[in-house]
Amino acid sequence: MESKFKLFIKGLLFDGIGMLSYAIPWFGEYSDIIWAPISAIILYKMYPGTEGKIGSLVTFVEELVPFIDVIPTFTLTWIYKFVIKNEKPDEISNK
């Protein structure tokens, strides 16, 4: 299983990709139609279990709804798993 640090860095990267739609006026919001399912699949694979299922649904909806895709869903999922629940990275692979 990946380390907490690698998951955190990946999460920041994917949240950044999701926010790139603001860099390209008008076209950017349409690119979210493509990014929404991709980000949902990535989050689901990064965090197996209930948190991954819920997080993937949240990131899918968040990317599709205009102007709310600034929410850093990947980072918030990491915070929930490793700060709030205080899970160890090897506990994820057992679910």
What are the tens digits of pLDDT across the range 21-58? 778 777 777 888 899 999 999 999 999 899 999 999 99
| Interval 84-95 mean pLDDT | 66
| pTM confidence score | 0.84
Decide if 21 contacts 71 (C-beta within 8 A). no
What are the domain boundaries of the chain?
Answer: 4-90
In the Cβ-directed half-sphere of 39, how many Cα atoms lie within 13 Å?
A: 33
